[in-house]
Structure 1
Amino acid sequence: MTGYGFAEEKVADGRISVEMKSVNHRFLDVHIHLPVALSSREEEARTMVNEKVQRGKVDITVTLTGSPSSLGVEKRLHIDWHLLRQYVQAAEQMQAFGAFDGQLSLNDFLFNEQIVSIQEETGEAPAVHQAFLKAMQNACDRLMEMRSKEGRLLSRELENYLQHISECLGTLEARVPEMQSRYRQKLEEKMTAMVETVDEERLLTEVAVFADKSDISEELARMHAHVKQCRETLDEPGAIGRKLDFITQEMNREVNTIGSKGNDQSLSKVVVEMKSILEKVKEQVQNIE
């Protein structure tokens, strides 16, 4: 399910901003981008999201603005003295050959990133961590609010699809007797064309065999049960996407069986329509948590 949440908290002379975005995904996939000052809090942030979201790809970006010291970040100059000595020794050896007459300057080393670097060190800043957790919580709540709104819209759309499927099932139930009657009529016409007198007993036997092979009453009953189960699941709290996915697969299996048994053009049209609806249901179920 898609969603967006943003929250911001003041801390010292700076701010902490948390932005969350979620898109559809079959499983839960969380990506968190944290500044150095909060790198130790990644697992805590991940747990917070895992407790609320069960399905979807969630991308979280946390931004710190303000003076580094007030946010628990200290920048320190780091010099690789061992590497510096090697540079100086090598320069002296090169100069000894007489091939170089230039003098080394301080800038030659200060702007050498391999020798001189600036490193950030994170200190304990309880106020920063508290503000971060509060911003995370607020952003997560807003994300879930938007996802819930989308979920309600998807639920209404699925209900319309289920209603359409129920109507198709009613059409099939009404057409089964007509299909058997048409089969008896065609069979009787064929037998009359071959012989002058129709063997009534043989005709009844053939019709009974056809009725048995084309009986879809069990499949229709199971389809009604699946539709009912879908509606009940939509009213359940919590994550229901995977359960709906399983029910949809079962419904598709029953429709395929109906299509293979119902050897009749009028039934085939209804089966094709139901398959089309189920494809839409399956597509939307993937978006539901």
Structure 2
Amino acid sequence: MIQSMTGFGKHVVQLPSKKITVEIKSLNSKNLDINARIPQAYREKELELRKMIADGLVRGKVDLGLYVEITGEETTSEVNHGVVKKYMEQLSQIVDGDSLKLMELALRMPDTLKSDKNDIDKAEYDAIKKAMQEALVEITNFREAEGRVLEKDFEMRLKALDDLLEKVKLLDVERIDTIRERLEKAVSELKVEVDANRFEQELIYYLEKYDITEEKVRLANHLNYFETTLHSNDSNGKKLGFISQEIGREINTIGSKANYAPMQQVVVQMKDELEKIKEQMLNVL
């Protein structure tokens, strides 16, 4: 079953003193492109979080947002009392002011806050990984739902191409007869004597150049292969893209060999259906 590369997943975990929110958004892309926005305190775990995304989503332009909100009395930083006092002493020698004003100025200076928490708490990181896994499940479900919509559209386009191919097969019979009549009429209008056997040989050689039997067979095979791949267990957008290129090649060849207006009109319709498939193909995983 195919999947779309468009998706969104979000999960929230509430700890005693923190609320952890993970948001994952994805759009179509030829490769995997991850943009991670995570707090500085968790930067050391970024590679591991990226690997989780790579294993789960495979391909697409992915935005990861990790948000940690402190909801209790816990804080990751403390006021560096000694540094603040030293700043206040120095500032008092430069400007006049009460202690509150001096403290306000001092707290804007570097190193006035210190962190007493250098290591990531294991329970907290386990909660982050759990939130990541749940968000990945949500975005995968979103992608599968979008994929079902795309699958129905592809099935409709394939049915249209199959019907148009049948029209081509019917037109091919009368096309050859029409081309033969047109050539015979053109020769007769020249009012010259021609060898009947030689003319027939040249006519057969000429008509063979416009034969599209192989193209019709290959196009039918490509359409069947596309449908088989579409309903396989894996979502393989790149493979479907290659097959659609082969479908386009056969349609173009039929159009170049047609030399018959009704058939060329059908070929234009086939190209239109294929173009719609290619547009949707850009979003398939």
By the TM > 0.5 criterion, same fold? yes
Taking structure 2 as the reference length, what is the TM-score of the superposition? 0.85
Contact 2:17 2:73 in 1 (8 A): no
Match of 1:217 in 2: 213
1:123 is aligned, of 116, 119, 137, to 119
* Equivalent residues of 2:38, 2:65 under 8 A apart: yes
Q: Which has the higher contact order (CA 8 A, sep 6+)?
A: 2
Matched, 1:50 2:54: yes
Aligned ranges for residues 234-273 of structure 1 at < 5 Å? Answer: 234-273=230-269
Match of 2:163 in 1: 167
Deviation at 1:224, TM superposition (A): 1.1
Report the counterpart of residue 105 of structure 2 in structure 1.
Answer: 111
Conserved? CA contact 2:240–2:281, under 8 Å: yes
CA offsets 1:59-100 (integer angstroms, 9 cap, x no match): 121221225774xx621446997xx89x969x98xx9xxxxx
Q: Distance in 2 between matches of 1:220 and 1:154?
A: 26
Kept after mapping to 2: 8 A contact 1:226/1:251:
yes
**CA shift at 1:199, angstroms?**
4.3
**SS of corresponding position for 1:288:** coil
Establish whether residue 10 from structure 1 lines up as the match of residue 14 from structure 2.
yes
Task: Report Cα offsets for 1:205-224 as digits up to 9, x if no partner.
Answer: 23212221111111221111
Which of residues 20, 31, 36 in structure 2 aligns to 1:32? 36
Cα root mean square deviation, aligned:
2.8
Separation (CA, whole Å) in 2 of partners of 1:111 and 1:68: 28
* Matched residue type, 2:113: I
CA distance in 1, matches of 2:90, 2:198: 110
Q: Is 1:19 aligned with 2:13?
A: no
- Partner in structure 2 of residue 63 of structure 1: 67
Gaps of 5+ in 2: none
Who is 1:98 aligned against? none
Identity, in percent, stands at 30
Contact 1:5 1:19 in 2 (8 A): yes
**Count of residues paired in the alignment:** 275
Contact 2:17 2:72 in 1 (8 A): no
Q: Secondary structure at the match of 2:126?
A: helix
Alignment partners' CA distance in 2, 1:22 and 1:56: 6
Letter in 2 for 1:269: Q
Report the counterpart of residue 181 of structure 2 in structure 1: 185
How many angstroms apart in 2 are the aligned matches of 1:169 and 1:153? Answer: 25
